A and B are shown apart, each in its own frame.
Chain A
Amino acid sequence: DVKVTQSSRYLVKRTGEKVFLECVQDMDHENMFWYRQDPGLGLRLIYFSYDVKMKEKGDIPEGYSVSREKKERFSLILESASTNQTSMYLCASRRGEQYFGPGTRLTVT
């Protein structure tokens, strides 16, 4: 079974803090993705990576950056967290269909 893990299920941070969300997959997939999920908006793509050290902006990259130093790990970084970044963050990896992690519910206060 494909396994995608995310470092935290729930996270509470303060406005202005730097936040790291980690995602690890164990299936040697080249493609990895970060989404945010908000009620009524579905999933929106923040960034994706099609190989180590390669990244592409998705639909809503503002306020976020990513890092992919190793094939199995894809990190999402909020340089200075803001309250409008309170959301559910989902990581996925892909070969064929996408496989999702359990999600991190981030609250920025």
Chain B
Amino acid sequence: AQSVAQPEDQVKVAEGNPLTVKCTYSVSGNPYLFWYVQYPNRGLQFLLKYITGDNLVKGSYGFEAEFNKSQTSFHLKKPSALVSDSALYFCAVRDDSGAGSYQLTFGKGTKLSVIP
């Protein structure tokens, strides 16, 4: 079974400060990891993914995420937050082991608020 935990329901950060949204995962095989963002009354938009290779992944809108296998984490980061980054962020995992490999398991989401 695969699972994702986003330990913070809400994160608040001042504009211009660095931000981190945390994610930990559990899979039986190797993980494929994803971050999505959802703006109010919208669907989810893909931000970035980790499949293999470099542990630091760069994505859309200046976001990046660091894969840490020993800590089973995939935290989302941005060096300087913008008010427009305020949204709901979802981490997701897929197991590459084959069985059920089409399915993504999502975390419960973290609401990011960037304060002007």
| Interface residues in chain A, defined as those with a beta carbon under 8 Å from any beta carbon in chain B | 4, 31, 33, 35, 40-45, 48, 50, 56, 58, 90, 92, 94, 96-103, 105
Minimal beta-carbon separation of B34 from chain A (angstroms): 6
How many A-B residue contacts, CB cutoff 8 Å? 47
Digitize B29-44: 1 where CB-to-A-CB distance is under 8 Å, 0 elsewhere: 0000010100001111
Say whether A48 contacts B102, CB under 8 Å.
yes
Would A101 and B43 be within 8 Å (CB), given that A31-B102, A48-B102 are in contact?
yes
Give the CA-CA distance A102 to B44 in the complex, in Å: 8
Cβ of B103 under 8 Å from chain A: yes
Interface of chain A, main secondary structure: strand
Cβ–Cβ < 8 Å partners of A50 in chain B: 102
Say whether B43 contacts A90, CB under 8 Å.
yes
Would A100 and B108 be within 8 Å (CB), given that A31-B102, A43-B90, A48-B102 are in contact?
no
Cβ–Cβ < 8 Å partners of B44 in chain A: 43, 90, 92, 98, 100
Would A94 and B43 be within 8 Å (CB), given that A40-B108, A42-B90 are in contact?
no
Chain B interface residue bracket vs A:
10 to 19
Minimal beta-carbon separation of B64 from chain A (angstroms): 16
The 8 Å CB contact of B108, one of A31, A41, A98, is: A41
Give the CA-CA distance A45 to B106 in the complex, in Å: 9
Give the CA-CA distance A44 to B41 in the complex, in Å: 18
The 8 Å CB contact of A100, one of B45, B102, B107, B109, is: B45
Subset of 28 A-B contacts with CB under 8 Å: A4-B43, A31-B102, A33-B104, A35-B106, A40-B9, A40-B108, A41-B108, A42-B90, A42-B106, A42-B107, A42-B109, A43-B106, A44-B106, A48-B102, A56-B102, A90-B43, A90-B44, A92-B44, A94-B102, A97-B46, A98-B34, A98-B44, A98-B46, A98-B104, A100-B43, A100-B44, A102-B43, A103-B42
